[in-house]
Amino acid sequence: MPSQNSVRLVRGADWFMTRCRTAAEFAACWPAGPEFTDSFWLREETLRFLGDEPQGFGTEGLLVTHEPSGRRVLFSLQQFEFSAAGYVSEAAKGTTSRYDLRRRLLSNVTFRAVCVGQLLTSGPYGLVGLDSFSAEEQATLLSALADTLLAAPDNFDSILLKDLTAPDTRVAQTLRANGYYDLPVDPVMELNLSPAWKTIDDYLADITSKYRVRYRRARGKFAGLTRRSLSALEVRDRRQEIHELYRETSTGAAFNTTSLTVTYFPWLADVQEKANGWSGVTGYFDGLKLVAFTSTVDGGPVLQAHFLGMTDSYKTSHHLYHNILFDLLNVAIERGKRKIDYGRTALEIKSSVGATGANYACLLKAKNPVTNWLIPKFTPAVYAGSDWVERQPFRKGE
């Protein structure tokens, strides 16, 4: 049965929505069980941390229950103030001559947005349970959920359904027909790991000689640096250095709604070390100096490459970014993962290690009909997708 805090969805007589924002609300209704074991982003401890320590946006847990069947869907729900000037880099804004006027009109525009999905990662990790419903039911649920949130007293101006479905599904097509617009987003770079890869040498045997040469060249350039896994205690002690490296790298991102605080990586390392015996954070050193770090999220069968930071000069001198991609792959192999999710940046170099693009829809709808009509006309002035060449490192027939 729905809890006393549940709200019946608009146009969804059989659906009830519960927003969990406090410890008491989570304790009263948030599910826990084996079906959620791999869902790091939907664990109560994750949502409560992000709610208590905003990382550029507010976070809640969202539970939707289908009363007749008892089926339920979990979402992360995040609220943020969108600013084209603040979130999108100049380098990502398309052709200047075509869009200067639109940019000037947008430069001081901000609006309150709510995201159903997870802004801290790429891919379908901000929900659990939606696939237990038919495509028609999914479209009905998401439409009713969005209408209910836009009608809530929070005064949201728009809603973003992020990475909940692929662009070519019946669900996405139905939502477009109901006034949702596809935001231009890059694909998520994913690498499916062969069960035959027990070590990195097995991977190397499956790529062409050209890419084995590139691998060895990158590894040779790494000379003079060292790498090691950091304990949660080390991450806490080095939190300021790590945060400064993150800031040095994140300022170059094309689109960024997040603003991680200095508490984020110590929390991430601690919660993962307690759960898995491994913090997921690796440090890169030039002597005693920390010059880079990477973080990962253990998502059961998927290793999610998370935020990183580096001193920019090492990216070229030591092929550091290329080496990091290989290191992440090596970790995924050693830990028996089925897939590594490299995220949405640096598409071409990630394809050179074998990752391929997986597309997920980011669907936006504004409450105001006029604003919603203008979205496809102004979006190209805000962000343009990346142009890149897909590489083919694997030997044919593999």
pLDDT tens column, 143-166: 999 999 999 999 999 999 999 999
Top-ranked range on mean pLDDT: pick from 6-10, 13-17, 352-356: 352-356
93-97, 212-216, 319-323: the lowest-pLDDT one = 93-97
Domain ranges of the chain: 7-185+360-382, 188-358
Strand order in the sheet with 188-192: 226-229, 281-286, 289-299, 302-310, 339-343, 188-192, 356-358
Average pLDDT of the chain, as a whole number: 89
6 confidence band (pLDDT: 50, 70, 90): confident
Give the model confidence (pLDDT) of 239-287 as tens digits: 999 999 999 998 865 556 788 999 999 999 999 999 999 999 999 999 9
Inter-residue contact 184 to 359 (CB < 8 Å): no
Largest CA distance in the chain: 64
What is the model's pTM? 0.91
Q: Which two tokens stand for residue 240?
A: 């300021």
pLDDT band for position 89 (cuts 50, 70, 90): very low
Q: What is the pLDDT of residue 69?
A: 87
Dig out the tokens for 82 from the structure.
Answer: 């969108």
Query: What mean pLDDT comes out for the span 300-322?
Result: 95
Please give the CATH superfamily to which domain 188-358 belongs: Gcn5-related N-acetyltransferase (GNAT) (3.40.630.30)
Task: Please give the C-alpha separations between residue 142 and each of 10, 176, 256, in angstroms, as whole numbers.
Answer: 11, 12, 25
**Mean pLDDT in residue range 67-73:** 88
Under the banding of pLDDT at 50, 70 and 90, the label for residue 97 is very low
pLDDT on residue 382: 64
Same fold, 7-185+360-382 and 188-358: yes
The mean per-residue pLDDT over the stretch 328-352 comes to 96
Q: Are 290 and 283 in contact (CB under 8 A)?
A: yes
Look at the domain 7-185+360-382 and name its fold. Aminopeptidase (3.40.630)
Separation between Cα atoms, residue 344 and residue 364, nearest integer Å? 19
CA R_g for the chain: 22
Residue-level pLDDT at 104: 58
Cβ atoms of 390 and 358 within 8 Å: the answer is no
The mean per-residue pLDDT over the stretch 164-189 comes to 94
When comparing pLDDT for 381 and 93, which is higher?
A: 381
Helix (H, G, I), strand (E, B) or coil at 318: coil
pLDDT value of residue 303 = 97
Residue 2 predicted with pLDDT over 80: no
Q: What is the DSSP letter of 57?
A: S
